[in-house]
């Protein structure tokens, strides 16, 4: 089933950003996140295992698996082939933007400036990742950008943590946030991941 970018952004207040090295970790992590109330899972294409991780996670009931760190049309094709239901990129290039729009997949490209947003709008986009959120001026910058672009909605990502997510989510232009804090580095602890997911899923927006 193909979901719109708004449907993806509305699944939960937080999209976990996942960097997974081992395919065998995919199912336990996805199960814990879904059980905790975070169904949208962004698997970053930064590891050799990423495509297999997406395939494994897609088998977990309730999981809506997407690809992150998608940098070009070749990686877009690989992610779609692996079953990605949404695509996240740290930035927006014309080749990637055109290919993603043509594919019809839900697409969240990164923006950090007014010019980035305007280039995206020229392509017909109005939903963006705001990246890297904390170091691009934080919430103050997001608020300033949201004023002229009142039709645009964001998923800020980059440096957001459990104790700062609520402030971002209180901003009307923010539909959800992304972050890696829900799955701590190191050996997989499903109980811990589920607890962190539950806390993130309970944030209001
Ligand atoms: C990323 O692409 O790594 C995300 O922005 C995650 O950032 P974080 O690790 O600061 O949550």
Q: Ligand 1 centroid vs 42 CA: distance in angstroms?
A: 11
Q: What is the DSSP string of 123-144?
A: TT--EEEETTTTTTTHHHHHHH
Domain ranges of the chain: 5-201
What was the pLDDT predicted at 1? 62
Tens place of pLDDT per residue across the chain (205 aa): 689 999 999 999 999 999 999 999 999 999 999 999 999 999 999 999 999 999 999 999 999 999 999 999 999 999 999 999 999 999 999 999 999 999 999 999 999 999 999 999 999 999 999 999 999 999 999 999 999 999 999 999 999 999 999 999 999 999 999 999 999 999 999 999 999 999 999 999 8
Of 42, 56, 175, 194, the active-site residue reads 42
- In this structure, the residues whose C-beta lies within 6 A of any atom of ligand 1 are 17, 131, 157-160, 178-181
Which residues make Cβ contacts (< 8 Å) with residue 199, sequence separation at least 6?
Answer: 162
d(C-alpha 195, C-alpha 184), whole Å: 12
State the average pLDDT for the chain: 97
CATH code of the domain occupying 5-201: 3.20.20.70
């Amino acid at each position: 089933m193909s979901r719109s970018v708004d449907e993806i952004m509305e699944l939960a207040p937080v999209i976990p950003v996942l960097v997974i090295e081992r395919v065998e970790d995919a199912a336990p992590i996805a199960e814990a996140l879904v059980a905790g109330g975070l169904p949208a899972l962004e698997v970053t294409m930064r590891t050799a295992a990423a495509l297999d991780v997406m395939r494994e996670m897609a088998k977990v009931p309730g999981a809506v698996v997407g690809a992150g760190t998608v940098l070009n049309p070749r990686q877009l094709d690989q992610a779609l082939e692996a079953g990605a239901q949404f695509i996240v990129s740290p930035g927006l290039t014309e080749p990637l933007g055109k290919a993603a729009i043509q594919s019809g997949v839900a697409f969240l490209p990164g923006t950090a400036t007014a010019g980035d947003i305007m280039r995206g709008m020229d392509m017909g986009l109005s939903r963006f990742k705001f990246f890297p959120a904390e170091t691009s001026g934080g919430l103050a910058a997001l608020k300033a950008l949201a004023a002229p672009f009142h039709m645009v909605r964001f998923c800020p990502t980059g440096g957001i943590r459990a104790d700062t997510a609520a402030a971002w989510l209180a901003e009307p232009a923010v539909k959800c946030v992304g972050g890696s804090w829900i799955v701590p580095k190191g050996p997989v602890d499903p109980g811990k991941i589920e607890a962190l997911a539950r806390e993130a899923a309970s944030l209001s927006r």
